[in-house]
Amino acid sequence: MFALRRFNTTLSASARSFSSSPRSQLAKFTLVGRLARDPELRTSSKGEEFITYSIACRDGNKGNSETSFYNVSRFGLTDGLKSLLLSLPKGTLVHVSADASQNKREGETIPRLLLRQRDLEVLSKPRPREDQQEQQHESQF
pLDDT tens-digit map of 79-129: 999 999 999 999 999 999 999 998 877 877 788 889 999 999 999 999 876
CA 26, distance to chain mean position in Å, is 14
12, part of any domain: no
119, part of any domain: yes
11, part of any domain: no
20, part of any domain: no
pLDDT of residue 136: 53
| pLDDT tens-digit map of 46-84 | 999 999 999 999 988 878 889 999 999 999 999 999 999
What DSSP state is assigned to residue 93?
E
Q: For the chain, what is the domain count?
A: 1
57, part of any domain: yes
CATH number for the domain including 105? 2.40.50.140
pLDDT of residue 24: 57
Range of the domain at 100: 26-126
Whole-angstrom Cα distance, residue 32 to residue 56? 8
39, part of any domain: yes
118: Cβ contacts below 8 Å, ≥ 6 apart: 97, 98, 99
42, part of any domain: yes
**Range with lowest mean pLDDT among 2-11, 14-23, 32-41:** 2-11
134, part of any domain: no
E runs forming strands in 61-104 = 65-74, 93-103
pTM: 0.70
